[in-house]
Amino acid sequence: MALGPASFCVDAKTVIGVDPCVVERFLLDSGCFPLWHRGVAGVPTISTPVLQTGTSVEFFGRVGPLRFPYVTIVSAQEPGRKLALRTTRGIVDLLAVTTWAAADGGTEVRTTVDGRLTAARAGLATWAERIVRRNLGAELGDLKRLLETGQFEFTVPSQLTAHPPRCPLETPPDFF
């Protein structure tokens, strides 16, 4: 029996006890990308130091012992509000939209992932949704832990927050 295409949507949110500018800076810093993306195996190749519309991210997606090549692009980036990543190569077509806004106790961060599978891969939909749901919850937990404890290093200077001494570059790029 042939199946048609399949899709799923997963949504998760958390409140992080830091200023929205710190959250934005972390999300856009390409060196911080692998710190909170659980499905990334190894070091990704990212085309710009700061994630912005058009930036490409190439990596191997990890599911247990399996590795799959992925290419993701930043399809939208709205300063102070939103970062959207869309896969252009991978097993599942994903659109992950992360938004952030000031909230009581810090910053509310919400990520919504829409997944689509072709008819040939529709049988993987339940499995893919389960993996995305598990990883998304863990990723937001990692993001919260990293930002609230400061257990990370910015890799690109920015005007969004005070320039920490642990950042190796001296002057922020014009667009960040």
Per-residue pLDDT of the chain (176 residues; tens, 9 = 90+): 457 899 999 999 999 999 999 999 999 999 899 998 888 888 899 999 999 999 999 999 887 788 889 999 999 999 999 999 999 998 889 999 999 999 999 999 999 999 999 999 998 899 999 999 999 999 999 999 999 998 888 888 777 877 554 555 555 555 44
Q: Which amino acid is at 40?
A: V
Q: Is the pTM of this model over 0.95?
A: no
Q: What's the pLDDT score for residue 165?
A: 41
User: Residue 106 in contact with residue 90, Cβ under 8 Å?
Assistant: no
Q: Which helix (H) or strand (E) holds 148?
A: helix 125-149
Q: What's the pLDDT score for residue 168?
A: 55
**Residue 71: other Cβ atoms inside 10 A:** 14
Q: If you count them, how many residues does the chain have?
A: 176
Q: What's the pLDDT score for residue 173?
A: 54
The Cα-based distances of 44 to 58, 81, 163 in angstroms read: 6, 24, 25
Q: What's the pLDDT score for residue 156?
A: 83
The four Cα atoms 85, 90, 3, 10 give a dihedral, to 10 degrees, of: -30
> Ramachandran region of residue 105, left (φ > 0), alpha (ψ -120 to 50) or beta?
left
* Cα 15 from Cα 34, distance rounded (Å): 21
Q: What's the pLDDT score for residue 174?
A: 53
